[in-house]
Structure 1
Amino acid sequence: MKRLSKAMCMAIAGIITSSVAFTGCSSKNKAEGAKKADTSKKVELSMYLIGSPAKDYDEVLSKFNEKARKDLNATVKVNWISFGDFGTKYPLVLSSGEPIDLIYTATWLNFYQQAQKGAFKPLEEIGPKYAPKSFAAEPKQALQQATVNGHIYALPRNYTAYNTYGIIVRGDLMKKYGIKQISTLDDYGKYLDAVVKNDKNMDPTGMFSTQTPIDGLYFFNKNLYPLSGDVATQSPFWVDATDKTGKIVNIVDSPDMPAFLQKMKEWSDKGYWTKSVLSNKDDKMLQNGKAASYIHNMDTWVTNYMLHPEYDLQYVNFVKPVYAQPYIQDAMAIPTSAKNPERALMLLEKLRTDQSYYNLLTYGIKGKHYDITKDNQLKPLDQEGFQQEGYCSWGYRDTNFRKDLVGSPKNLKDFRQNLKDNAVDNIYTSFNLNTDPVKNEYASVLNVMQQYYLPLKLGYVDPVKGLATLKEKLKQAGVEKVQAEFQKQLDEFVKNNNK
């Protein structure tokens, strides 16, 4: 990255915008900035992550804290928000005023909306001082994506991943049912039907309250990309990833919606998922042998494959076309309630630049939970004690530290190469909504989608009457005003990015 003089660095401090890349100061100045950090007072940092801890997580964290205490005069207390509760608990934690020094954030956790609400501290001034190497190493696009209203509110992962959203199915069950291939939604339906008829005690789809992504399979396969950055927000606004004009598609008004809802009603009536999905908190049905499939990304496929090689898990990606995920898909932020933001950034710097720190919270304890092979692969030793990359280490994922795992799916290398070879540019991954002009209406729209769209897409209500009710409720909530505002923003974005 291009270097600037100290004077110029000082001049640009605090005025980084989404159209201006962050540029680091000299190595000498970075060292001077780090030296000035006051670590005389011992602190305990509070960090929030998504998921649940490993059996040996406390032991791993103890080792981690030994290092942090020695290097930074700090320790870390990790608090967890389960996948079954993140939809409600995550925003409540951020708005509670509880002192939190670090928190995982992502598009699917409504990063942009939370940033606009003032949930996070701006980092453009303190970030380069207390985490200089991490900020200097960030790709230009990553910092652009972390910028909201002229301020950088998170440190995204430094890792390029490709968008995968599809189904994880059990190859052993496919063989049992005589199903040779699954590549379409209808193929998946045949698999689910076989599960219902042959394994009545198994949940066919493995969906739970905050993970009801059956519609994502359908609309991602139609070239669509959610403007919110993630399908989990239940926003109705999408855009064709291949259409450079940037015309917003409201999926509720899509010509495809009636047929999709009819199919979902049929699937629901056939028992492809239970009637209690929206109250179910069990996010581990696949790995515990209770579910025959799961709708998620490639990383989840790899993790579960290694836990249960006997399942011969297969993965089908429904995203079309393939494109690089936004960097802000995974990131770490400092809430406004943080008592120790400087020390939190210094800890992030360690996680991002010191592999011994990274390995502990990502892979566990060497010799107990993993080992490194001669070809630099990571060999898991005790997945029950600590499952590699299984505990929300994604926010500080770094391409220089990440290792392939021994025991991964045999076709993983070819799968990744295929993603890379076929990836296309999707400019919309760098677009972020400013919801402020219509924040009340947009909140009402999302509430309507939660209340009426969720049961509708799961086939719990009549598809024709339910869709009519949904449209009427959205109209009352101000969906037209919201769409007009978002279209205005998207038009401006397209004008500036299609050059």
Structure 2
Amino acid sequence: MKKRNLWKRAVSVGMAAVLTLSLAGCGQGGAQTAGSVESAGTTQNAESGEASQSAAGWAEADNGEVVTLKGFTMGNEPAAGMDTFYEQLDAMTVTDLGIKVRFDFIPWGDEKNKINLNIASGEYDLYVGGNFSDYKVMATKNAFLDLKPLLSEVPDLVAHYSVVSDKTLESCEIGGKLYGIPQFGKATDSVSANEGFMYREDLRKSWGLPEINSLETMEQYLYKAKEEYPESSVIMDNRVWSAVWNILAAGKYLELDSYMNTPYTVVSVEDPYTVLDRTQTPEYKTMLEYVAKWYKDGIIDHDILASSANEGNKIAELVKADKKATTTNSPAWSLTATVNEIARNNPEWEMGWYDYGFGKAPVYLPSVSNSTCISINPKCKEPVKALQFIEKAHTDQAYYDLLRWGVEGENYNRTDGKITTAGIDASNVKPSWTGLVDGYMEEEVPSENAFWQEQMDATRITPEEFSPLDGFIFDASSLSAETAALESVKAQYMTPLLCGVTQDREGDYDNVLAQLQKAGIEKYIAEMQQQLTAFREKKAAD
């Protein structure tokens, strides 16, 4: 259901010639652009989150100068094509919105700290955040603009998100405020592969190992990989515990949020409105047994505690260089570029995929309540223009393709009218503007590795219902002392145990439980339960 240009645009060379050079971004207090009375000078107080009008903003907006908004996005900046990218983007945004937009790229790896630093700097107008960041915590501190009062300025965006439900954007609200515009998954015939185990299927065959379809068969592959690739550790990702948990818990439990944000709690599939202490489930204890064994046997890197929060890029490079044979903690979509590069350089390699949840865990209609979001700085002096830029990105195909894929011929090609990155050097493949991906604007691009694509296609499904937790967002703002204490316990006591770094697993486990009690885990769970019960009651009343 792709929406083409909603307004005809005439890019005039004469008009461009009289536009002045762009000034500093909104987050830096740059000059305002010419615009309608409704949009000029609108700002928001970072403490109260309430919109206000600035007299200075009105005056600046009348001087005809073009404001440059500044945003950041995740991934590596392409080696080529960005000059043309901005030429094409400016041709649209200056004409349509009277603005320019520039992006800084943040490489994956320790992204949470990098994002927090960027937000704290006040340098940016457009933020991205999700389960890989402190988005929800920052939102409760009014780090982002409340977009709800501005939705009347972007009717096409609202209509676009209403294609599935009129409450789509409402389900993203935190405390009645809309702090970001989320990624938008397509509800029909979509690949549902999530986190899983990528491995060399050609090696599995040559090693004479059984098909990988369980934790036991995956473990056999890990131990064989240690023998065959002694120069690098088999597991280098300190989130390995979640891989084992996801296998053991699939079909039994649901996450209330990402396991990275709420590692202490889950609910059961049978009773999704009763909060459970994850650390006291039998699956959690079994998971600890596996990681402790793997660490002792050298499967897990002995320097695992020194690794960053996300070693995905480093691991992918080792796999491509044939120095490693597997990854354990990457969602399938994040491996697309890696698999494509392997297909070009080593077409004989078959990249296998064992999905931790598919076929066992329920698959629901795409939820936006916990999706990656694009947010706006509350001090941005052109918030309406910024939001209208987001609207264009989600409703105008020319904007979407440019922001999603980059420049045709430099960052991607078209074959028979279809987008492909075949023939593009890996260093020039542009990462999407993080938080933009929209299933209703997306042109699906098949993998260059046919075997991989077959496995992705095997996970296609059209779900019939939303998760019972869809729309639930835990607000921990009243638990600042407890969440800080729990984070300290996680860093000091839980993380080593979750990575298998222990000489007394039972004793260390008991100590973790005791430390969580001291930190206030009971109060944390009680507050979450109270909010979840209120959510269920409101849902029933609606």
Counterpart of 1:15? none
Call closer, same or farther: CA 1:77–1:422 in 2, change over 3 Å. Answer: closer
Structure 2 residue 290 is matched with structure 1 residue 275: no
Structure 1 segment 1-12 matched on structure 2, within 5 A = none
Q: 2: CA distance between counterparts of 1:412 and 1:171?
A: 14
Counterpart of 1:91? 116
The C-alpha deviation readout for 1:270-314, integer Å capped at 9, x for no partner, is: 222212233334432343234322222121243322121233212
Call closer, same or farther: CA 1:334–1:413 in 2, change over 3 Å. Answer: farther
Structure 2 residue 328 is matched with structure 1 residue 303: no
Q: State the SS of the aligned residue for 1:125.
A: helix
Structure 1 segment 8-407 matched on structure 2, within 5 A = 37=39, 40-56=64-80, 58-59=82-83, 61-67=85-91, 68-94=93-119, 96-129=120-153, 131-139=154-162, 140-160=166-186, 162=192, 164-207=194-237, 213-218=242-247, 220-227=249-256, 229-233=257-261, 235-240=263-268, 242-281=269-308, 282-288=311-317, 289=319, 290-294=323-327, 295-309=329-343, 310=346, 311-319=349-357, 320-327=361-368, 328-374=370-416, 376-387=418-429, 390-405=431-446, 407=448
Deviation at 1:66, TM superposition (A): 3.0
Report if the CA contact (8 A) 2:404-2:437 is conserved.
no
Call closer, same or farther: CA 1:383–1:286 in 2, change over 3 Å. Answer: farther
In structure 1, give the amino acid aligned to 2:428. Answer: F
In structure 2, give the amino acid aligned to 1:103. Answer: Y
Report if the CA contact (8 A) 1:220-1:318 is conserved.
no
The C-alpha deviation readout for 1:162-209, integer Å capped at 9, x for no partner, is: 46221111223222322241111222111110110111123323526x
Q: What is the aligned counterpart of 1:473 among 515, 523, 526?
A: 515
- Structure 2's unaligned 5+ residue stretches are 1-34, 41-60
Call closer, same or farther: CA 1:102–1:64 in 2, change over 3 Å. Answer: farther
Call closer, same or farther: CA 1:158–1:255 in 2, change over 3 Å. Answer: closer
The C-alpha deviation readout for 1:50-95, integer Å capped at 9, x for no partner, is: 232222263354334432344433222322333212232323332x
Deviation at 1:479, TM superposition (A): 0.3
Counterpart of 1:485? 527
In structure 1, give the amino acid aligned to 2:537. Answer: K
The C-alpha deviation readout for 1:245-285, integer Å capped at 9, x for no partner, is: 51112111112322221211111112222122333344323
Deviation at 1:464, TM superposition (A): 1.1
Report if the CA contact (8 A) 1:380-1:405 is conserved.
no
Deviation at 1:483, TM superposition (A): 0.4
Q: State the SS of the aligned residue for 2:428.
A: coil
The C-alpha deviation readout for 1:91-140, integer Å capped at 9, x for no partner, is: 3332x2513211112244243322112111111122331x3311221133
- Structure 1's unaligned 5+ residue stretches are 1-32
Deviation at 1:444, TM superposition (A): 1.8
Q: State the SS of the aligned residue for 1:54.
A: coil
Q: 1: CA distance between counterparts of 2:390 and 2:403?
A: 12
Call closer, same or farther: CA 1:216–1:355 in 2, change over 3 Å. Answer: farther
Q: 2: CA distance between counterparts of 1:350 and 1:425?
A: 27
Q: 2: CA distance between counterparts of 1:258 and 1:212?
A: 11
Q: TM-score, normalised by structure 2?
A: 0.77
Q: TM-score, normalised by structure 1?
A: 0.84
Deviation at 1:424, TM superposition (A): 5.8
Q: State the SS of the aligned residue for 2:115.
A: helix
The C-alpha deviation readout for 1:367-390, integer Å capped at 9, x for no partner, is: 2332233364535331424326x3
Which stretch has the larger CA shift, 463-472 or 276-285? 276-285
Q: CA RMSD in A?
A: 2.8
Call closer, same or farther: CA 1:44–1:164 in 2, change over 3 Å. Answer: same
Counterpart of 2:51? none
Call closer, same or farther: CA 1:304–1:366 in 2, change over 3 Å. Answer: same
Report if the CA contact (8 A) 1:192-1:204 is conserved.
yes
Report if the CA contact (8 A) 1:52-1:391 is conserved.
no
Q: State the SS of the aligned residue for 2:146.
A: coil
The C-alpha deviation readout for 1:210-234, integer Å capped at 9, x for no partner, is: 787434434542532222x212235
Report if the CA contact (8 A) 2:150-2:384 is conserved.
yes
Report if the CA contact (8 A) 1:287-1:308 is conserved.
no
Q: State the SS of the aligned residue for 1:452.
A: helix
Report if the CA contact (8 A) 1:195-1:202 is conserved.
no
Q: 2: CA distance between counterparts of 1:300 and 1:106?
A: 15
In structure 2, give the amino acid aligned to 1:285. Answer: K
Counterpart of 1:448? 489
Deviation at 1:360, TM superposition (A): 2.0
The C-alpha deviation readout for 1:385-406, integer Å capped at 9, x for no partner, is: 4326x34444353422333235
Report if the CA contact (8 A) 1:99-1:339 is conserved.
no
Q: State the SS of the aligned residue for 1:429.
A: coil
Call closer, same or farther: CA 1:380–1:72 in 2, change over 3 Å. Answer: farther
Q: 2: CA distance between counterparts of 1:243 and 1:147?
A: 26
In structure 2, give the amino acid aligned to 1:342. Answer: V
Q: 1: CA distance between counterparts of 2:65 and 2:181?
A: 25
